[in-house]
A and B are shown apart, each in its own frame.
Chain A
Amino acid sequence: MAVTILAVDDSASMRQMVSFTLKHAGYEVVEAADGVDALEYARSNSVSLVLTDVNMPRMDGITLVRELRQLIAYKFTPMLVLTTEAGPEKKAQGKQAGATGWLVKPFNPDKLLATIAKVL
């Protein structure tokens, strides 16, 4: 079974960049433009990993992670947060919401892939 990754970012270019990198590495990618869309998709589909930006309109990434963790199907799904700063405050927030880890932006494709390989 192909590994499906849900990539969430409000910036289309970042989303495509992530998606492009992941697809080349052989992953299936589903894109969502914000937390609301992502949550809606996740409710009726299953994915192996969630990769989300933090700052997004409608629903931010931290809230998305928190909401997803409430779903039985996502109890044990790795969720990575893309952030620009990894200060202790942000980490605590992400942790509390249930994020597995984070990837600090800007990142390069190799780092993205290495990080994902780590949790899958």
Chain B
Amino acid sequence: MDMEMEEILNLFFEESLEGLDTMESGLLTLEDGADRETINTIFRAAHSIKGGAGTFGFMEISQFTHSVETLLDEMRNGTRGITPDAIQVLLQSVDVIREMTQSAQAKTPIVMTGANALSGELARILAQKSVPAPATGQAAAPPPPNPSPAPPAAAAKRDPAPTDAAPTGPLEGWRIVFTPDTSLFKTCNDPLRIFEELTNLAPLEVTANIDAMPAFGDLDPTQCHLSWTLLLRGAIEHSRIAEVFDWVDASSKIEYEPIHGTGGSGAPVDRPIAENAKPAAPRTTPAADAHPPVSTAAKSGGEAGSLRVATEKVDALINLVGELVITQSMLGRFAEKYEPSDIEALRRSLAQLTRNTRELQESVMQIRMLPIGFSFNRFPRLVHDLSRKLGKKVELKLSGENTELDKTVLEKIGDPLVHLVRNALDHGLEAPESRVAAGKNETGTLELNAFHEGGSIIIEVKDDGAGLNKDRILAKARERGLVDSDAMLTDEAIYNLIFVAGFSTAETVSDVSGRGVGMDVVRRNINDLGGHVQIFSVKGKGSTIRIRLPLTLAILEGQVLRVGKEIYVASLVSIIETVQSTRASLSCVAGRTELFKHRTDYLPIIRLHDLFGIEPDSREISDGLLVVLEADGRRVAMLVDELLAQQQVVIKSLETNFKQVPGLAGATIHGDGTVALILDVPGLIRTFLERQGMNMGRAA
């Protein structure tokens, strides 16, 4: 029971969080003109959350969502205009509900601060007179403090319990005249059922009235022509009787007459109706009961574990495993009895095994792949809130949301992207006036694109703002002593300066950005994922930040290298190119740092054999190959003896199997069983520079 209930509860949380996302994106589109279906969708999501929260015993969520739902309902009915003010409060409400839901999911007490703060706002908006045109609503007198007093139960309102008759004595029973509509049977309501229920309350006398019965020839048996007079002998509260008639009272005439005994003062029978007519508080749902004590494996929750996988992906896997089993049994046959003539069949089976394995690998990788849309989803809201705050007009364009990437990469790329988007909004895009003055559309455009390129995924954050100001960056860098005053830097090198920790050219530090914390973190995060960042910018036209990431962290697109007898693997993403050096392109600084002239740059040469203390084929640079590597915005040339294959390698952790080694990211096992070490390019460069004792910040 508990396990199953727990699962349903988890489903409720997932569903609610999805519903909140739906509400959020719906609310954001609502701003530019109300489309009926959008409001309906938002309303439905709120409605489901409220209903579910109530049923599963989260009354705080249910109650708060109720006000939100009321507001949405009025918008849906057209009795209330859709104002930016209301949308803003609704968006904040979505945040609050999300927070409450998440704390409920984490089995922590639901934090009410947000809800309490917002309920006032919601009440204020609800209290504003509900007229579509706000102009007419303004003049209305201050509304009643509580805009929607709980409506009394329908039955009570419809058929007020007699308050007129002076109580002559204690209540002894009721006389009820029940005249149903002729259509009673059409809804499958059986009067007998009603009478039986009444019998459960107190002894009942039933008298049928057949006056309205037509002649037999005219009788339509699907119609109800009867009426009844019921005598219920017991001091039953009116509300309990009304409850029995609840399903039929809208289409029937029901007259109640209390029967009082003689003497004594009768308690006013109608008093308790308002309280009792409400549905019983659902405190006793299993969800509520199961909630606090159950704290098993699912406790860690959130990030830690689960992955939602499309069924077809799992089906594909099962299918492949099936094929693998067939192949295995085919191969097994050869082990039992092998005739030399079987060689052809053996080869075929092995070829099939190869194919199965490859497909299985791809399918397994597919399981971890999620569309980047999961990460992009948060941006419409972020951009909406931020542009409001900054007083800028921004149109956000998303493309390639369906591009898939590894779940881990997806999770870790979120924060860097948020930072880049904030930066683009704050520093990149100009205020509407400056844009108009510059002859641009007053609404700026911010694009987020994702697409595959080779074995990588590219994510671009592109704005059509002012572009990076090279002079200012350079001036600031000189002021901070990051660059020598006479150094000539390429555009790229200048742009890369913004990744230096603590660097900011912002004149005013806002709470949006400008503290210079961040871009260095952005780059570090991306490097940690095995990716790298590039900046393109044209003054007055805008900037593009381009992030290249590996599709997955578990498998590396690698270049296999050889130095002496040792085999290494370097990530393809970090390799710019590989060149055979000529003596003319080499030079030596201060008699020890060797440099290689690569186009316009001088790159320090890393001799891998020196760094790792191994014996190479040759120490002569012109005999080997120089692999140009880039990481953290720095480039170096690495000397190796030979380039071998390019291949995908599975990364095995060195740390868990041995210990962390500077300059190495892990190990992998080759087809022949030998182990090759995977180079950690950023770490390698760092280690090298530390040994050389030189500051590359200047030499970039």
Residues of A that sit less than 8 Å from B by CB: 10-14, 16-17, 20, 53, 55-57, 69, 75-79, 82, 84, 86-88, 91-92, 95, 98-102, 104-111, 118-119
* Cα A92 to Cα B51 with chains together (Å): 21
Cβ–Cβ contact B188 & A106, under 8 A: no
Cβ–Cβ contact B51 & A98, under 8 A: no
**List of B residues within 8 angstroms of A13 by Cβ:** 8-9, 11-12, 15, 52, 56
Cβ–Cβ contact B250 & A11, under 8 A: no
**List of A residues within 8 angstroms of B439 by Cβ:** none
**List of A residues within 8 angstroms of B189 by Cβ:** 100-101
Would you mind naming 15 contact pairs between A and B with Cβ atoms under 8 Å apart?
A: A12-B15, A13-B12, A14-B52, A20-B5, A53-B51, A55-B43, A78-B188, A86-B154, A92-B250, A95-B187, A101-B246, A105-B51, A106-B51, A106-B285, A109-B286
* Cα A14 to Cα B15 with chains together (Å): 10
* Cα A104 to Cα B12 with chains together (Å): 19
Cβ–Cβ contact B250 & A106, under 8 A: no
Interface assignment of B347: CB less than 8 Å from any CB of chain A: no
Residues of B that sit less than 8 Å from A by CB: 4-5, 7-9, 11-12, 15, 41, 43-44, 47-48, 50-52, 54-56, 62, 151, 153-154, 157-158, 186-189, 193, 197, 246-247, 249-251, 279-280, 282, 284-287
Chain A residue at minimum C-beta to C-beta distance from B284: A108
Cβ–Cβ contact B154 & A119, under 8 A: no
Chain B residue at minimum C-beta to C-beta distance from A69: B186
Cβ–Cβ contact B285 & A87, under 8 A: no
Cβ–Cβ contact B251 & A10, under 8 A: no
Chain B residue at minimum C-beta to C-beta distance from A24: B1
Cβ–Cβ contact B44 & A108, under 8 A: no
**List of A residues within 8 angstroms of B282 by Cβ:** 106-108
* Cα A10 to Cα B46 with chains together (Å): 13
Chain A residue at minimum C-beta to C-beta distance from B283: A108
Cβ–Cβ contact A106 & B246, under 8 A: no
Can you add 7 more A-B contacts, CB < 8 Å, to A106-B62, A106-B285?
A11-B51, A13-B12, A14-B52, A77-B188, A82-B51, A108-B282, A119-B188
Cβ–Cβ contact A14 & B44, under 8 A: no
The A-B contact count (CB < 8 A) is 108
* Cα A45 to Cα B22 with chains together (Å): 34
**List of A residues within 8 angstroms of B151 by Cβ:** 87
Chain B residue at minimum C-beta to C-beta distance from A78: B188
Contact of B280 among A10, A16, A111 (CB under 8 A): A111
Query: What are the 5 closest A-B residue pairs judged by CB atoms, nearest first?
Result: A106-B54, A101-B247, A13-B12, A91-B250, A13-B11
Contact of A87 among B5, B154, B187 (CB under 8 A): B154
Q: Closest CB of chain B to A26's CB: distance in Å?
A: 15
**List of A residues within 8 angstroms of B186 by Cβ:** 69, 75, 98
**List of B residues within 8 angstroms of A55 by Cβ:** 43-44, 47-48
Chain A residue at minimum C-beta to C-beta distance from B41: A57
Cβ–Cβ contact B154 & A88, under 8 A: yes
Chain B residue at minimum C-beta to C-beta distance from A14: B52
**List of B residues within 8 angstroms of A108 by Cβ:** 280, 282, 284-285
* Cα A110 to Cα B11 with chains together (Å): 22
**List of A residues within 8 angstroms of B284 by Cβ:** 108, 110
Chain B residue at minimum C-beta to C-beta distance from A13: B12
Cβ–Cβ contact A100 & B8, under 8 A: no
Q: Closest CB of chain B to A117's CB: distance in Å?
A: 10
Q: Given the interface contacts A100-B188, A107-B279, does A95 sit within 8 Å of B52 by beta carbon?
A: no
Contact of A104 among B43, B62, B157, B279 (CB under 8 A): B279
Cβ–Cβ contact A100 & B187, under 8 A: yes
Cβ–Cβ contact B193 & A119, under 8 A: yes
**List of B residues within 8 angstroms of A99 by Cβ:** 187
Q: Given the interface contacts A76-B188, A79-B188, A106-B285, does A118 sit within 8 Å of B197 by beta carbon?
A: yes
Cβ–Cβ contact A20 & B193, under 8 A: no
Chain A residue at minimum C-beta to C-beta distance from B9: A13
* Cα A79 to Cα B285 with chains together (Å): 23
**List of B residues within 8 angstroms of A17 by Cβ:** 8, 12, 55-56, 287
Q: Closest CB of chain A to B304's CB: distance in Å?
A: 21
Q: Closest CB of chain A to B595's CB: distance in Å?
A: 64
Chain B residue at minimum C-beta to C-beta distance from A83: B51
* Cα A43 to Cα B48 with chains together (Å): 27
* Cα A75 to Cα B222 with chains together (Å): 10
* Cα A64 to Cα B180 with chains together (Å): 24
**List of A residues within 8 angstroms of B287 by Cβ:** 17
**List of B residues within 8 angstroms of A75 by Cβ:** 186
Chain A residue at minimum C-beta to C-beta distance from B10: A13
**List of A residues within 8 angstroms of B11 by Cβ:** 12-13, 16
Q: Closest CB of chain B to A52's CB: distance in Å?
A: 13
Q: Given the interface contacts A88-B154, A107-B55, does A16 sit within 8 Å of B188 by beta carbon?
A: no
Q: Closest CB of chain A to B159's CB: distance in Å?
A: 11
* Cα A117 to Cα B247 with chains together (Å): 15
Cβ–Cβ contact A86 & B250, under 8 A: no
Cβ–Cβ contact A20 & B4, under 8 A: yes
Cβ–Cβ contact B188 & A88, under 8 A: no
* Cα A55 to Cα B49 with chains together (Å): 12
**List of B residues within 8 angstroms of A16 by Cβ:** 7-8, 11
Q: Given the interface contacts A86-B154, A101-B189, does A109 sit within 8 Å of B48 by beta carbon?
A: no
Q: Closest CB of chain A to B85's CB: distance in Å?
A: 26
Contact of A105 among B5, B55, B280 (CB under 8 A): B55
Chain A residue at minimum C-beta to C-beta distance from B43: A55
Cβ–Cβ contact A95 & B251, under 8 A: yes
* Cα A105 to Cα B286 with chains together (Å): 15
Among B151, B158, B247, B279, residue most surrounded by chain A Cβ atoms (within 10 Å): B247
Contact of A118 among B55, B187, B193, B279 (CB under 8 A): B193
Q: Closest CB of chain A to B569's CB: distance in Å?
A: 45
Q: Closest CB of chain B to A106's CB: distance in Å?
A: 3
**List of B residues within 8 angstroms of A69 by Cβ:** 186
Cβ–Cβ contact B250 & A14, under 8 A: no
Chain B residue at minimum C-beta to C-beta distance from A49: B188
Cβ–Cβ contact A11 & B15, under 8 A: yes
Q: Given the interface contacts A84-B50, A87-B154, A106-B54, does A57 sit within 8 Å of B44 by beta carbon?
A: yes
Chain A residue at minimum C-beta to C-beta distance from B55: A106
**List of A residues within 8 angstroms of B279 by Cβ:** 104, 106-107
* Cα A48 to Cα B524 with chains together (Å): 63
* Cα A118 to Cα B192 with chains together (Å): 11
